Amino acid sequence: MKKALTLILILAMVLAFSACGKKEQAQPSGPSFEEILNSLDENGRFVDGKAEISATAGEETVVRSNSYTEDLIVTVSGTPTPTNPAIIRFINCEFKNGMTLKADANAIVIVESDCVVSGGELKVDSKLKEATDDTELCKIISMVPANFASDNAAGFMIYDSDTLVLNGTTFTRDYAEYSYSEADGYVKKVPGEYNMFYVAQWWENGVWKTFTCVQAV
């Protein structure tokens, strides 16, 4: 899982401000100005009911200013790989009843700092049960407070939070087992100031494993 974490750390630092290679979600065309105004919530976000969005292997899809009233389903098209993952980034969106990423590996969801998770959980629905340290798990990065869930192998990262809640279990950043830096790589956690907290869980040879790591970004 340490190799699997490398990609997510790079993405968290590098892709956060990169506009290259992104595919913007097309907004609906055709409605009148009045219809558009009536479809916005009090924060200027388009109100969307039960919706499904697809991320594409090898691309980064950007979704802006939507408010989802039901559980948002994120699927993946194509065959993502460790070097060409499917990435979807939400900017200024609200999730009123959670979000579910349906994929097995090599897919990443990023919830930016101007989003709101006002209800439900951020979930990974994966059929991947057996994994190793080298498996590129599906991952969700949240820059805002959120709870997470997954029945099988998945990884979750939260920014600037002392805790991460996964499947109802609270993991505490202070008790993370590992820390990561570019200079030292992965080591048993050393004292320092950290603002990214990562928790991954997976089955390996029938044993349920948990990996916890912190990083300063």
Is residue 69, in this structure, part of any structural domain at all?
Answer: yes
Is residue 8, in this structure, part of any structural domain at all?
Answer: yes
One-letter amino acid of 100: T
Q: Distance (Å, rounded) from C-alpha 11 to C-alpha 18?
A: 10
Q: In angstroms, what CA-CA distances link 149 with 19, 82, 128, 177, 189? A: 29, 23, 14, 21, 25
pTM of the model: 0.83
Is residue 109, in this structure, part of any structural domain at all?
Answer: yes
pLDDT at residue 175, rounded to an integer: 93
Kindly tell me the burial class for residue 214, based on how many C-beta atoms sit within 10 Å of its own C-beta (0-12, 13-18, 19 or more).
buried
Is residue 181, in this structure, part of any structural domain at all?
Answer: no
Give the residue numbers spanning the domain of 126. Answer: 2-172
Q: How many domains does the chain have?
A: 1
One-letter amino acid of 7: L
Is residue 39, in this structure, part of any structural domain at all?
Answer: yes
Size of the chain, expressed as the number of residues it contains: 217
**Considering the chain, what is the average pLDDT of its residues?**
85
The residues near 42 (Cβ < 8 Å, ≥ 6 apart) are none
Reported as a single tens digit per residue, the pLDDT across 150-183 is 999 999 999 999 999 999 999 999 999 999 988 8
User: Long-range contacts of range 178-185, CB-CB < 8 Å, 24 or more positions apart?
Assistant: 178/2, 178/211, 178/212, 178/213, 178/214, 179/213, 179/214, 179/215, 180/5, 180/9, 180/213, 180/214, 180/215, 181/215, 181/216
Q: Distance (Å, rounded) from C-alpha 207 to C-alpha 57?
A: 30
pLDDT at residue 217, rounded to an integer: 85
Residue holding tokens 């098209």? 77
| Displacement of CA 63 from its chain's centroid (Å) | 13
Q: Distance (Å, rounded) from C-alpha 103 to C-alpha 149?
A: 14
Is residue 97, in this structure, part of any structural domain at all?
Answer: yes
Would you say 187 and 179 are in contact if contact means Cβ atoms under 8 Å apart?
yes
Structure tokens at 27: 């907004």
Helices (H), the chain: 2-14, 33-38
Is residue 177, in this structure, part of any structural domain at all?
Answer: no
Is residue 201, in this structure, part of any structural domain at all?
Answer: no
Reported as a single tens digit per residue, the pLDDT across 102-159 is 999 999 999 999 999 999 999 999 999 799 888 999 999 999 999 999 999 999 999 9
